Structure 1
């Protein structure tokens, strides 16, 4: 999962160093051999992008792309440090949570002139994705490469044992008062060490063998993409007064606080593990793979991980229909950005343009790892997933039904995380009530004054 690692605000606040770059000679002459450095964080995507790099080199013999892959947390801490020190990669995979800060500090290049000069059509991508990468200053900082949504992964064997059908999973409903059929399903899938289910008399919530719903080892901070966002958004709540570039967060909204209160109640009832258990060293997906969780909400980028566990038959269902009468999911997308200090601007742009092209995205689609941003490439991915026995409709149905919400794009992302992370920890640990998030909301909104 793209979990929002907390970047240290003080580091982000440092000025951009004006010296150096981590990429060899300073020639921008395309006729000379050049190595373009490129970073990404997802090891699952590395083979696909290496294939793109190989094809790119064949078409551009004088340009070699060197790919480096880091884990999510290390990626952002290393990237932030290198941007400040002047040794960042020429090109790197960027995230909507971080690019506003990089753009604001002029650490990444706007590419409007390059896009215009080469006639790149930004309407080639799935609706709305290209717009996400236009900053608050009106300049473009990336071209879409993929998109993601959230769905429910479930253990088919556990469903069958509980007498729950896969068709029932497709029609779940939710509300923050009693949890709807969604909570009933979670309760029935929860089993204690004596074999009692969560909705049966005598259930021992202090000795649970299988939790109905898994909990990630984070708390979602201020976004909760794969943790709680789908519930809160299905009430009609939104993160900010407008998106993108909102300046007023709405964590004080009763709908949000009621949602978090309900979500926390699953821990109290024994249907979901405590935050301490979730942080005991096993990821939410590995705990699912070990048979500790019957259900797990997660993003489409995790499909192959969940379906890759041995001896477990996995299915997916869309998120439940909420009080608004609709489902909800965050609609997120990635792009590649060019380091402002690169000594190989022309070559870096060629690589970025190729990454966003139909040729590369079809290569990525053929690997069936993520959902490419170009529709034709997505069709290839759908076919390849289907060939592996994976139906991705639980993730794409919300695109077709227009029940998606944009990832919240604002300034001050790291500072917001620094406020909301501890605040959400306190709520989940039962050290504070959900109403305490109103105070946190005031702290967040003070950042924009």
Structure 2
């Protein structure tokens, strides 16, 4: 159901009350059926950034990027990775420098931060861009830090939450509560992703909607407004969820239980101009593409060959999906 008519006559809520990117995400893209319709009332965000284990940085005589007076970069990650990785006399890695997750929801940020994208649009893509320079640059970088420099790992041996890796690049607002519940005592901080062209984060938006066929529009509206607006502070306090409501987001650090001084970073990442909304496309395409990404990152396929094969197959799948659709 289009929520604009309900918002426009309700004096207690306005789209201007919400972080702008959440309002953008609440609308159907203009080139889609019902384009422009705002169908969800934004509730909260999921955002991922970087985490730094201060104890491990101190042991290596290094300062974490969160303490620098500038945005850290991909080159900085490589430099720190080479200094923080620990390789034994037998050639095996004893301590990985960074946990770098490359699942379907994590590797795309590298392409975005390289200044490109792997499709022609975020929502329901029609064409592959897997053969473009930013995609090649991002995947070559990932392959290199896993296979050549060998300081990155995506699994439990480099679990940042357990204190095994100095750097975590899949860290979110839940870290503070987990840190306490796990009995960890090491110091940590948060920051943005390393930058190349961009240094942003991928944002997932959660919200409430009303079914188009409901016979109880007013009751449904009061209910989703209650959950999204009226109880937002209580929800934030209990779950550490990042609210879409601007007034609540401004009080995030002071409201969340046991918040660290570094939890201020999460609202900052939401409002970065180089952060972006999570893409939406079919699970079939997602899973097919992930097979190529896994092969590239693991070194089973050269980047150029892997992306060329992926581009060919994904292009064929997109063509079949959208054939006959204007």
Match of 1:414 in 2: 283
Task: Answer whether contact 1:367 1:381 (CA < 8 A) is retained.
Answer: no
Q: 2 CA distance for matches of 1:299 and 1:339?
A: 34
Query: 1:110·1:140 contact (CA, 8 Å) conserved in 2?
Result: yes
1:295 shift after superposition: 1.1
How many angstroms does 1:314 deviate by? 1.8
Aligned: 1:248 with 2:127:
yes
The answer for the alignment partner of 2:168 in structure 1 is: 296
Q: Equivalent of 1:349, from 221, 237, 245?
A: 221
Q: How far did residue 318 of structure 1 move? A: 1.8
Is it true that 1:132 corresponds to 2:25 in the alignment? Answer: yes
Select which of 117, 140, 143 maps to 1:238.
Answer: 117
Whether the aligned pair in 2 keeps the contact of 1:172 and 1:182 (CA below 8 Å) is no
RMSD: 3.0
What is the CA-CA distance between 1:263 and the residue it aligns to?
A: 0.8
Q: Secondary structure, in 3 states, of the residue corresponding to 2:43?
A: strand
Distance 2:26 2:50 in 1: 28
Q: How many residues align?
A: 308
Structure 1 residues 404 and 362: alpha-carbon distance in aligned structure 2, compared to 1, 3 A threshold: same
| CA positional deviation for 1:238 | 2.6
Identify the residue that residue 36 of structure 1 maps to in structure 2: none
Aligned equivalents of 1:283 and 1:336: distance in 2?
A: 38
Where 1:382 maps in the other structure, the secondary structure is helix
Please state how far the C-alpha of 1:167 moved relative to its aligned partner: 5.1
Distance 1:245 1:422 in 2: 20
**Aligned counterpart, 1:312:** 186
Question: Once the 2 structures are TM-superposed, how far is the Cα of residue 153 of structure 1 from its aligned partner?
Answer: 0.9
1:212 is aligned to: 97
The answer for the alignment partner of 2:62 in structure 1 is 164
Q: Aligned partners of 1:337, 1:294: CA distance in 2, in Å?
A: 41
2:301 aligned with 1:429, yes or no? no
Quote how far apart the aligned CAs of 1:129 are: 0.9
Any idea what SS the aligned residue of 1:438 has? helix
- State the alpha-carbon separation in 1 of the partners of residues 222 and 232 from structure 2: 15
How much does 1:240 deviate?
A: 3.5
Q: Which residue of 2 aligns with 1:143?
A: 41
Q: TM-score, normalised by structure 2?
A: 0.81
CA distance in 2, matches of 1:168, 1:353: 37
Unaligned stretches of 5+ in structure 1?
1-108, 195-202
Q: 1:262 aligns with which of 127, 138, 141?
A: 141
Give CA-to-partner distance per residue, 1:287-332, whole Å, 9 cap, x none: 223332221112534333553342332211222221x2x4222233
Query: Could you state the TM-score of these two structures normalised by the residue count of structure 1?
Result: 0.61
Evaluate the alpha carbon distance shift between residue 398 and residue 141 of structure 1 in structure 2; reply closer, same or farther with a 3 A threshold.
same
Question: Partners of 2:67 and 2:322 in 1: how far apart?
Answer: 41
User: Aligned partners of 2:87, 2:131: CA distance in 1, in Å?
Assistant: 36
Q: Distance in 1 between matches of 2:301 and 2:82?
A: 25
Q: Deviations over 1:42-101 (max 9, x none)?
A: xxxxxxxxxxxxxxxxxxxxxxxxxxxxxxxxxxxxxxxxxxxxxxxxxxxxxxxxxxxx
1:1-400 mapped onto 2 (5 Å cutoff): 109-116=1-8, 118=10, 120-135=13-28, 136=32, 137-138=34-35, 139-166=37-64, 170=68, 171=70, 173-175=72-74, 180-193=75-88, 204=91, 207-216=92-101, 219-221=102-104, 224=105, 227-244=106-123, 246-268=125-147, 269-273=149-153, 278=155, 282=156, 287-308=159-180, 309=182, 310-322=184-196, 324=197, 326-338=198-210, 347-357=219-229, 359-367=230-238, 369-385=240-256, 388-400=259-271
Matched-pair contact (CA < 8 Å) for 1:209–1:292: no
* SS of residue in 2 equivalent to 1:248: coil
Q: Does the 8 Å contact 2:203/2:278 carry over to 1?
A: yes
Distance 1:236 1:430, change over 3 A: same
How far does the alpha carbon of each residue in 1:181-232 deviate from its partner, in whole angstroms, 9 at most, with x for none?
21111121111345xxxxxxxx82xx2221111143xx322xx4xx333432
User: 2:322 matched to which residue of 1?
Assistant: 448
